[in-house]
């Protein structure tokens, strides 16, 4: 969270003791309220997208809103709710002077970003080489348009952009006919998706995104449990978790996974939902001894927030903005109206999440 979560009472101690005893019943109830709000926000996009009954009732604009609004929420989370408190925590007056002589938080964010970049660069080069070894060219970091569905039906006389794959000239593949006017293209799922868009790759990518958010969720839960400004912070965190859950859930929902992997987005949504309540429960158990303003807590929170901020900054800028809008062939083919709507949803999500930082 932002500076309110890390704000220090002038009269507060830098020692380990906590001792907050007010609103005990409400603090316990917050575990269940936040659990409900977090899981509802994360599970709704997943279940709505997977349900054959609910999905037809919702227009594409609804799913676009959830997806791109969620992207904006993640962007604001990275800069406003993680980077700002990391700077505050690692410049606490409770720390030794050595911590105040260098912007360690920014250095850790930069390290996290470069780590993410190097890991993805190595994985991409290895995956591209693997695809080339089986005779498939992969010339774009975005998803292949021919793999939007397992089977693509087109008119034989109309060429489909991106629907064919580069093959050795000596290899011919007959195209089975389903009717006199339609043909089924050769299944590209096992080739152009190959390594780059395999279930394991997608799961790892979303897991990295969720990892940064989960660390953040545990920390804000622990802070809420011992905060003296509990009531206002509780209200804002419920809204915060709902919005952030939509962001995580929409990303989970849009994973293109085989039928046997449909449980993965649900597990991811539930995992997100339980982390902040878990943090609250831990904080309640330690509230007589845990002080978020202590030197140890500031160092641990500052380092974790810095690494999480780097992960989410890289993911939001590269995966959610550049890859989604600039390197996705499907998105570039959208009308100006739909593209403007998607960008607007992203900006609105980011702005609303940033406004929450005024109180939390």
Query: What confidence category does residue 16 fall into, taking pLDDT thresholds of 50, 70 and 90?
Result: low
The three-point CA angle 316-322-326 to 5° equals 150
The pLDDT score that the predictor gives to residue 152 is: 29
Average pLDDT over residues 73-101: 91
Is a pLDDT exceeding 80 seen at residue 115? yes
Is a pLDDT exceeding 70 seen at residue 108? yes
Is a pLDDT exceeding 90 seen at residue 112? yes
The pLDDT score that the predictor gives to residue 59 is: 79
Is a pLDDT exceeding 80 seen at residue 191? no
Three-state secondary structure call for residue 184: strand
- In this structure, of 34-43, 146-155, 329-338, 345-354, the range with the lowest mean pLDDT score is 146-155
Average pLDDT over residues 17-21: 63
Query: What confidence category does residue 10 fall into, taking pLDDT thresholds of 50, 70 and 90?
Result: very low
The rounded percent of the chain whose pLDDT value lies above 70 is 74
What kind and span of H or E run contains 153? strand 153-154
Average pLDDT over residues 258-262: 80
The rounded percent of the chain whose pLDDT value lies above 90 is 28
Is a pLDDT exceeding 90 seen at residue 79? yes
The pLDDT score that the predictor gives to residue 359 is: 78
**How does the average pLDDT of the chain come out, rounded?**
77
Three-state secondary structure call for residue 100: helix
The pLDDT score that the predictor gives to residue 283 is: 86
- In this structure, of 67-76, 148-157, 270-279, 337-346, the range with the lowest mean pLDDT score is 148-157
Is a pLDDT exceeding 90 seen at residue 197? no
- In this structure, of 107-121, 157-171, 287-301, 321-335, the range with the lowest mean pLDDT score is 157-171
Is a pLDDT exceeding 60 seen at residue 288? yes
Average pLDDT over residues 319-328: 85
The pLDDT score that the predictor gives to residue 21 is: 67
Kindly provide the b/e burial profile for residues 271-289, where b requires at least 16 CB atoms within 10 angstroms of the residue's own CB: bbbbbbbbbbbebbeebee
For the entire predicted model, the pTM comes to 0.71
Give dist(CA 29, CA 276) in Å, integer.
13
- In this structure, of 81-85, 144-148, 246-250, 260-264, the range with the lowest mean pLDDT score is 144-148
Position of tokens 């900054």? 313
Ordered DSSP codes for 35-89: HHHHHHHHHHHHHHHH-TTTGGGS-HHHHHHHHHHHHHHHHHIIIIIIIHHHHHH
Contact 289, 19 (CB under 8 A): no
């Amino acid at each position: 969270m932002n500076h309110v979560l890390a704000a220090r009472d002038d009269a507060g101690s830098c020692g380990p003791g906590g001792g907050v005893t007010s609103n005990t019943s409400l603090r316990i109830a917050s575990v269940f309220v936040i659990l409900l709000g977090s899981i509802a926000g994360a599970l709704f996009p997943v279940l709505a997208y997977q349900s054959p009954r609910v999905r037809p009732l919702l227009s594409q604009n609804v799913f676009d809103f959830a997806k791109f609004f969620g992207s904006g929420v993640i962007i604001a989370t990275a800069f406003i709710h993680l980077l700002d408190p990391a700077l505050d925590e690692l410049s606490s007056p409770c720390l030794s002077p050595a911590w105040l002589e260098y912007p360690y938080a920014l250095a850790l964010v930069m390290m996290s970003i470069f780590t993410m970049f190097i890991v993805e660069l190595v994985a991409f080069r290895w995956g591209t080489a693997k695809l080339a070894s089986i005779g498939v060219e992969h010339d774009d970091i975005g998803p292949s348009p021919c793999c939007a569905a397992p089977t693509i039906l087109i008119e034989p006389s109309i060429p489909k952009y991106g629907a064919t794959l580069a093959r050795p000239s000596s290899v011919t593949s007959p195209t089975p006919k389903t009717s006199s006017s339609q043909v089924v293209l050769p299944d590209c799922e096992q080739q152009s998706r190959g390594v780059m868009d395999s279930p394991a790759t997608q799961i790892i990518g979303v897991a990295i995104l969720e990892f940064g958010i989960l660390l953040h969720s545990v920390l804000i839960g622990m802070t809420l449990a011992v905060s003296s400004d509990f009531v206002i912070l509780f209200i804002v965190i419920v809204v915060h978790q709902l919005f952030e859950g939509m962001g995580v859930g929409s990303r989970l929902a849009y994973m293109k996974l085989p039928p046997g992997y449909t449980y993965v987005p649900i597990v991811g949504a539930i995992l997100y939902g339980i982390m902040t309540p878990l943090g609250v429960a831990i904080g309640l158990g330690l509230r007589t001894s845990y002080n978020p303003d202590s030197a140890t807590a500031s160092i641990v929170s500052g380092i974790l927030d810095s690494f999480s901020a780097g992960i989410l900054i890289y993911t939001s800028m590269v995966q959610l903005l550049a890859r989604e809008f600039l390197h996705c062939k499907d998105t570039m083919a959208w009308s100006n109206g739909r593209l403007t709507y998607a960008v607007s949803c992203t900006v609105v999500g980011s702005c609303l999440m940033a406004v929450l930082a005024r109180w939390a």
